[in-house]
Amino acid sequence: MVEQKTVPELHFSRNEYAQRIANARKVLKNKKLDALLVFSQESHYYLTGFDTAGYVFFQCAVITTDEQPITLLTRRPDVQQAKETSVISDIRVWYDAEGANPANDLRDILSEKGLAGCRIGIELNTYGLTGLSYDKVLNALKNWCLLEDASDVVRGLRLIKSSAELEYVRQAAHISDAALVEMIQSSRPHTLDTIVTAAGLNSMLSKGGDVPPAGPLVNCGHRALYGRSVAGSHVIKDKDQVTIEFASSYRRYTTCIMRTVVVGEVFSVQRDMFNIVSDAINAMTDAAAPNMPLGSIDDAHRRVFDEAGHKVHRYSACGYSLGATFRPSWMDVPPMIYSGNPLLCEPGMVFFLHAMLANTDAGYAMSFGHTLLITDSGSEVLSSLPVELPSIS
């Protein structure tokens, strides 16, 4: 008996993908562009559902302002995934060979679509287009068409989440809460910090989440002052501090959460630092509202820290946008949240807000972060966990 073949379902309805493509074409027309070269994997995923890690090689989709089908140029290992995870019907393959230049194949596709001499946008602000690949594209299209940066076309559309997208965001938030609880409980003396990492990943995956696009970050002791994860495991000690920051991913949509865990006795300096951090995160959350500039969130962040005498210990940005992302980062940027950013918050935007103090002079760290959704009336924190200092006795 031959086993019946099952084809994976799309994560969204075909109507939603059709609307996203139509919206992208509208933006292209407004910019007076005739087509867009899609190199960002996040854009592939958003517009068509195409889900792969093949973006580390040369991979491009061509979307025109007219009704011609989207054409994907990719490698052979990604063809079946393109067929089954996306709404793309026109898939072309470039093959690995000595001297192979897929940029020439791309030019042939553009020629088929009648785009010679036209204005064509290209996504430059993406991990999916290396400097070497961009150089090949420039050489292949030199004096053939007008090429210009259009990294903001799909990026701008992705900032406002649909109701279907927000269902995945909320599921990711539930997974984040459960994983953080497991990680805090695992942050015990004489335990490797990698055990804490494993507890978080096990919790995420056991609840149906994806492997996150980066992290988790678990830094103990002096390394709790670091803003990035580093290689090598450390043993958590008595009277230690553990900084935990991670993103949970569900259908590629992420939510982030961050805490500093105190192991053993909570010293007065740590309690004072937490009070400042909690005041900051509350002020930042209150500042996140529709029609307010994104920079006002960081203004609130700076005001609390600076008035408490910690200007030198704070960062120059306090968060960023979240969405469906791929390796190497869960940060779905731009935008970043920094003072002076004029972008107005709109309902459907999702942000990670973090209040972080790294007092390198005293050797203490304290941080708190959560994901929130901009709503019609204000904002909604997508975590059910309280604003409190986690400690393990």
pLDDT in tens, 40-53: 999 999 999 999 99
pLDDT tens digit sequence for 280-310: 999 999 999 999 999 999 999 999 999 999 8
Listed residue (287, 220, 239, 201) closest to 393, CA to CA: 239
Give the pLDDT confidence score for residue 360 in this predicted structure: 85
Q: Rounded to whole angstroms, how far apart are CA atoms 303 and 311?
A: 9
Is 292 in contact with 345 (CB distance < 8 Å)?
Answer: yes
Q: Rounded to whole angstroms, how far apart are CA atoms 152 and 168?
A: 23
Query: What does DSSP say about strands 391-392 and 146-149: parallel, antiparallel, or unpaired?
Result: unpaired
CATH numbers and ranges of domains, the chain: 14-158 (3.40.350.10), 163-392 (3.90.230.10)
Q: What is the mean pLDDT of residues 100-114?
A: 98
Q: What is the mean pLDDT of residues 173-196?
A: 97
Q: What is the pTM of this model?
A: 0.95
Q: What is the mean pLDDT of residues 136-162?
A: 98
pLDDT tens digit sequence for 254-275: 999 999 999 999 999 999 999 9
pLDDT band at 9 (very low <50, low <70, confident <90, very high): confident
Q: Is the dihedral of CA 24, 27, 29, 34 positive or negative?
A: negative
